[in-house]
Structure 1
Amino acid sequence: MGALLWLLIPVVAALVAVLWSVWAMRNRKTGDVAELAGYARFRAAMEKEHSASDPASDAA
């Protein structure tokens, strides 16, 4: 019985490894699209703020 118990440990470890790899390789809904959209909003906000208070145009 003890030998079967020792055999069960690597089998359970292999099953856990398979489940973890399936979970790690899953298809994620969010990706580059959301990050790129956020970056585009950031650039638009920075350009808007920069054009509103441009120190170079005040000095000239």
Structure 2
Amino acid sequence: MAVLAWLLIPLFAAVGAAIWGGWASRDRTTGDIAELTGYARFREAMDKTHSGSGPA
């Protein structure tokens, strides 16, 4: 029984490493597109905003 436990420990470690590796290498570009669009709208809004007073 002890031998089985010593064989299962590396097996569980390998399965855990495979799950973590798959999760770490996932494609995360979908969030970047929305963030870049929001940043572009922010820049446009900041370019349009004027205080109304003359030059300082």
TM-score, normalised to structure 2's length? 0.75
Residue identity opposite 1:22 in structure 2? G
The amino acid of 1:4's aligned partner reads L
Structure whose alpha-carbon radius of gyration is higher: 1
Corresponding position of 1:10:
10
Task: From the two aligned structures, give the one with the greater helix fraction.
Answer: 1
* Corresponding residue number in structure 1 for 2:27: 27
Q: Deviations over 1:4-60 (max 9, x none)?
A: 1111011101101101111121223524322221111110111111xx2155xx148
RMSD of the alignment, in Å? Answer: 2.1
Map of 2:38 onto structure 1: 38
Identity of aligned residues (%): 57
Count the aligned residue pairs.
56
C-alpha separation in 2, matches of 1:59 and 1:29? 42
TM-score, normalising length: structure 1: 0.71
